[in-house]
Amino acid sequence: MRFMVEPGGSLSGSVRVPGDKSMSHRTVMLGALAEGTTVATGFLEGQDALCTVQAFRDMGVTIRGPEQGKIEIDGVGMHGLKAPVDVLDMGNSGTSIRLLSGLLAAQSFDSTMTGDVSLQKRPMGRVTTPLAAMGAVIDSDEGRPPLHIKGGKSLKSIHYDMPVASAQVKSCVLLAGLYAEGRTSVTEPAPTRDHTERMLRGFGYDVECENEVISLQGGGALKAATLDIPADISSAAFFLVAASIAEGSDLTLEHVGMNPTRSGVITILTLMGADIEVLNEREVGGEPVADLRVRSASLTGIEIPQDLVPLAIDEFPILFIAAACAVGTTTLSGAEELRVKESDRIASMAEGLTRLGVQNEVKSDGIVITGGQLTGGEVNTFHDHRIAMSFSIAALRANGPIQVNDCDHVATSFPGFAALAQGAGLRISEVS
């Protein structure tokens, strides 16, 4: 499936994007291991989150839904999972395979996790290395999936100084630490999203955070929770940029998660001159939530502060589009993590920008983008959902139509993207 997007247009009205993917994953994982029934609304019914649901069903957990964003999980307790009869297929979900590595390393049974062609290329050494230090035994194909995890191993606590800021690595170690003897702690080189810490507390598990060190004591229990999952700021980001770059736009995004470890995209866009108003701030299930009103504005290129990079790591593809539409030059550095996402997002975006006539210079850890007129053209997505959605938004400022190839993966994080964007004013259609 591909997107055909006609140039021009503006965005208006109110939209609510799908629920937060990070929180949806963690709701299933913690709900499955809790005592009692967890009920959540706002659950993301995307393919990535559904892979996590299926994995726990394969391990004997009863899960009803998701249906219209509602899901119910009958927890089996910390030691109630059963051996799956087959390989666990994580599809395209790096979050699923990395976080589950920590949980499965502590189970009594053997397990194997694999994924699609894209996932099988992604490095897993960043989670298997600390897990091995805890006593886990995990075999892989030169550090890539499939992962073969040996059960029946007693894990010991460690202190892990993370070499790279990664919420997935941090979460993996902490989840393994639930089962480890003693106190497990992680030091972050820079702040990353803290959904795991917040949600563990929401499920009744004590987590301490002091400066850059996050720690927990193994051997506790989780208690079922009731949650309303906020809209995913990573999905909202496409509309924040769209309304910023399209003249005459005035769009409100409802019930957006405003976790301070995730809101870097708002800070960066504001530094570029975006007109974003934060309304109706509130707290839902321990997470800050707000409505965001965004109006068109003239953006200016900036040097992106490095301390904001981990706080916007998933939003850089669409931020590259903002940079392409800005006056002047935008420079990103310190973003090596983008090289090991669903695709090499620096290289993937650079190729597409070049095809659309945007001057850019690729660096090992970032990119320099000079804003200018976008042409129409045909771009590839490299099986990456965020690349597909980003180039769709680019058509708002292009002088010709943009054809975005291979868009099936958009459903991993944003089912119904094209329909929602079309309703807001993007001139997009799906072509099989």
| CA 263 – CA 260 distance, rounded (Å) | 5
- For residue 187, the model assigns a pLDDT of 97
Residue 219, SS3 per DSSP: coil
Both structure tokens of 210: 């002091």
Closest CA to 5 of 428, 432, 431: 428
Helix axes 94-104, 21-33, angle to 10 degrees: 20
Phi, psi of 165 (to 5 degrees): -70, 110
| CA 8 – CA 345 distance, rounded (Å) | 25
- Written as one letter, the residue type at 132 is A
CA 183 to each of CA 158, 210, 212, 217: distance values in angstroms, whole numbers, following the listed order:
7, 14, 16, 4
CA 136 to each of CA 4, 108, 180: distance values in angstroms, whole numbers, following the listed order:
47, 12, 11
- Written as one letter, the residue type at 420 is L
DSSP state of 114: E
- For residue 164, the model assigns a pLDDT of 87
Closest CA to 30 of 115, 103, 84: 103
Closest CA to 292 of 316, 326, 262: 262
Judging by beta carbons within 10 Å of its beta carbon (0-12, 13-18, 19+), is residue 139 exposed, middle or buried? exposed
Residue 247: other Cβ atoms inside 10 A: 12
* Structural element, H or E, at residue 128: helix 125-133
The answer to whether 3 and 28 have CB atoms below 8 angstroms apart is no
| CA 169 – CA 79 distance, rounded (Å) | 22
Both structure tokens of 71: 């899901």
Tens of pLDDT along the chain (432 residues)? Answer: 999 999 999 999 999 999 999 999 999 999 999 999 999 999 999 999 999 999 999 999 999 999 999 999 999 999 999 999 999 999 999 999 999 999 999 999 999 999 999 899 999 999 999 999 999 999 998 899 999 999 999 999 999 999 988 999 999 999 999 999 999 999 999 888 899 999 999 999 999 999 899 999 999 999 999 999 999 999 999 999 999 999 999 999 999 999 999 999 999 999 999 999 999 999 887 789 999 999 999 999 999 999 999 999 999 999 999 999 999 999 999 999 999 898 999 999 999 999 999 999 999 999 999 999 999 999 999 999 999 999 999 999 999 999 999 999 999 889 999 999 999 999 999 998
- Written as one letter, the residue type at 416 is G
| CA 21 – CA 48 distance, rounded (Å) | 8
Residue 14, SS3 per DSSP: strand
Task: Provide the annotated active-site residues.
Answer: 314
| CA 261 – CA 192 distance, rounded (Å) | 6
Instruction: Note the pLDDT tens digit of each residue in 314-355.
Output: 999 999 999 999 999 999 999 999 998 989 999 999 999 999
Match 């002091």 to its residue by tokens.
210
Query: Which domains does the chain possess?
Result: 2-15+258-272+299-431 (3.65.10.10), 21-228 (3.65.10.10)
Q: How many residues does the chain have?
A: 432
Instruction: Note the pLDDT tens digit of each residue in 175-223.
Output: 999 999 999 999 999 888 899 999 999 999 999 999 899 999 999 999 9
| CA 412 – CA 244 distance, rounded (Å) | 25
Quote the distance between the C-alpha of residue 255 and its chain's center. Answer: 17
Both structure tokens of 430: 């799906």
The answer to whether 366 and 349 have CB atoms below 8 angstroms apart is no
